[in-house]
Structure 1
Amino acid sequence: MSEWVYEIVRQGGYLGIMFLMALENIIPPVPSELIMGLGGIAVARGDMEFWPLLLCGTIGAALGNYVLFVVADRLGYERLRPFIERWGRWLTLEWRDVEIAGSFLRRHGHWVVFILRFMPMFRTVISIPAGLAHMGHVRFLLFTAAGAAIWNVVLILGGRWLGQTLAEAEQWLGWATLVVAVITIVFYVWRIVTWKPREE
């Protein structure tokens, strides 16, 4: 997995990073940990600079989250509910979950968007309740970008450390990402097989 991502990073440069980070937040084909980690390795090798990498990765993450936010904001609760009720098993999501998340967001405000940026399972999903709650667009983008920037700094520094410490750092990072991906897929399949809405 790491080879083709690294090729996009190498050939696409900062714009490639921005594209992958945006795509990862809309349709997660590859985790941001690998994207920004490889970017950090590129920084260690002198192929990229820290600040432009951080800026492009953060912009990409914010834009990807903003797409989901706008979709939820435009659809609203009434039009989104039939979709979730029909495809809930495959989304492993119930309408009640959306209502709970929206209520939690309204009670605790924009800080939820900021804090959940550090949690791999929730940093993308929170965009949907935020859109349904009609959170201010500028506020959403600011707190999403702030949380993404801090997370990206950690990933870049980690990748840079790997690049300076291990000669074959991208292979190690690729294997680690593969293990995480397999665990995620197994967990998802288990959720589908054992899915039973609370209403039942």
Structure 2
Amino acid sequence: MFDWITGAIDSMGLFGVALFMFLENVFPPIPSELIMPLAGFNAARGDMNLITVIIAGSIGSLAGAQLWYEIGRRIGRQRIRALADRHGRWLTVSPDEFDQADHWFERHGGMAVLIGRLIPTVRTFISVPAGIARMGRVHFLLLSGIGTVAWTSLLAVLGYVLEGGYDAVSAWLDPVSTAVVVALIGAYLYRVATYGRRQRRKHPLDA
């Protein structure tokens, strides 16, 4: 997996960094915790520029966040909740979990967007409640942008700094990165398989 990601970034350049980060925000196939450090590796080797890597990663990530924001803004709370109720098994998001995210945003507002962009998994979906609440687009992009740039910069710089130990790191990071992706897929399949059981536990009278 390590070699595949670095090879893809090598062949597609900055566009590949932006594309991977966009996809990671729409439906996380490969976590940013792998994408940006590996892009930082490439920058340290002279294949890319660290600043442009951070910019490309941030643009891709923000594009994904903006997509979820627009979905929330256009579809609205009731229709999204109904979607979670109807297709929650495959989305692995139940109406109750959607309500929890919605209430968290209502309590913390803009700080939920700013801090949420720094938290794995949460940052993928925090844009939806912001869109539902019709937070101003400029305000949303500003707060989301601050959190996104901070996160992508941290990960890219870590990869850049560790470049000196590339050979040693790659020896253990390749199986680790593969294990991370397999674990994500496994977690998704587990949530799909146990969705009905979890719902019955929350609403035993409806069973």
TM-score (norm. length: structure 1): 0.90
Find the aligned partners of 2:139 and 2:113 in 1 and give their Cα distance.
10
Aligned to 1:134: 134
Find the partner of 1:199 among 176, 183, 203: 203
**Cα deviations across residues 11-54 of structure 1 (Å, max 9, x unaligned)?**
22212211211121112221112211111101211111111111
Find the aligned partners of 2:168 and 2:141 in 1 and give their Cα distance.
36
Aligned to 1:54: 54
Structure 2 residue 117 is matched with structure 1 residue 117 = yes
1:84/1:177 CA distance change after superposition, 3 Å: same
The structure with the largest helix share of the pair is: 2
RMSD: 1.8
TM-score (norm. length: structure 2): 0.88
Find the aligned partners of 1:57 and 1:177 in 2 and give their Cα distance.
19
Q: Deviation at 1:119? A: 1.5
Taking the TM superposition and a 5 Å limit, the aligned residue runs for 1:143-154 are 143-154=143-154
Q: Give me the identity figure in percent.
A: 36
Secondary structure of 2:167's partner? coil
User: Which consecutive unaligned segments of at least 5 residues does structure 2 have?
Assistant: none
- Number of matched residues? 200
Find the aligned partners of 1:170 and 1:111 in 2 and give their Cα distance.
36
Structure 2 residue 91 is matched with structure 1 residue 87 = no
User: Which consecutive unaligned segments of at least 5 residues does structure 1 have?
Assistant: none
**Which stretch of the first structure deviates more once superposed, 67-76 or 128-137?**
128-137
Query: What amino acid is the match of 1:148?
Result: T
Q: Deviation at 1:144? A: 1.4
Preserved CA contact (<8 Å) 1:25 1:61: yes
